Structure 1
Amino acid sequence: MNRDLNIDQTELVGAWQERLPEVLNVGDQAQVMADEADQQAIRIHIATAGHQMYSFDFKCAYVDSREVNVQLIDVERDGRTTDERTEPIQELAQDYTRHIHECAQSLQPKTRQ
């Protein structure tokens, strides 16, 4: 059964902005924005804690009210685009993708309205 997303994008961004920092690693910073091109999606910018100075940009699109498709858009190190195929970056990206899915699951009561 396909359930459409029944929540305003602005409300969705607010819920994510509130919840995502709670599931990320301590010290990581997250910024959640509306995806201007897709009402069923949000953009997530995560800056890693520590000396690595990495930042990750993800697109998180709702397939339905329960499932999200997370796509890594860009990785930067100290403000410059970096090779996202290296093992440490892949591991971090997978870790953040898990956190994003975890956040989406915790927001299901809001997205299922």
Structure 2
Amino acid sequence: MDQRLVEEWKRRLPERLNSSDSVEVHADDGIPNALLIHMDVAGRSKYSFDFRCTYMDSREVKVDLLDVEQDGIHVDEHTEPIQNLAEDYVRHIHECAQDLQDVTTQIYQG
């Protein structure tokens, strides 16, 4: 993963989230065109979400939910409240990818 793109994700993704949520973005060492995204939800729920965001090309990303924890303990991600939160975060990830199309176009074109 191009380090410029990782840095732009680190800068721009937090702008899409609630100001009290926190996010970490890293290149996925196992998949060259993917990012690992860890989000901690603000508030009493103490949920954290792990996603993989894989670039299919310069315009399209695939987002996979890898894990959900509550206060450090794995929880069932199939419950409605967790699915709703996950869908919201996936939407924000897709929006951020769209915001970064100028960067990805430069990288993919050389």
The normalised TM-score by structure 2 is 0.94
Residue 88 of structure 2 aligns with which residue? 95
Out of 43, 55, 62, the position equivalent to 2:36 is 43
Out of 9, 13, 38, the position equivalent to 1:16 is 9
* Secondary structure class of the residue paired with 1:112: helix
Deviating 4+ runs (over 6 angstroms)? none
Q: Which amino acid aligns with 1:105?
A: Q
Listed as ranges, the gaps of 5+ residues in structure 2 are none
2:72 matches 1:79: yes
The two structures, once aligned, show a CA RMSD in angstroms of: 0.8
Q: Which amino acid aligns with 1:19?
A: R
2-structure distance, mates of 1:82, 1:62: 27
- Greater length-normalized contact order (CA 8 Å, ≥ 6 residues apart): 1
Q: Kindly, what percent of the aligned residue pairs are identical?
A: 57
* Secondary structure class of the residue paired with 2:84: helix
**Greater share of helix:** 2
1-structure distance, mates of 2:2, 2:49: 21
Listed as ranges, the gaps of 5+ residues in structure 1 are 1-7
Residue 70 of structure 1 aligns with which residue? 63
* Secondary structure class of the residue paired with 2:7: helix
Q: CA deviation at 1:26?
A: 2.2
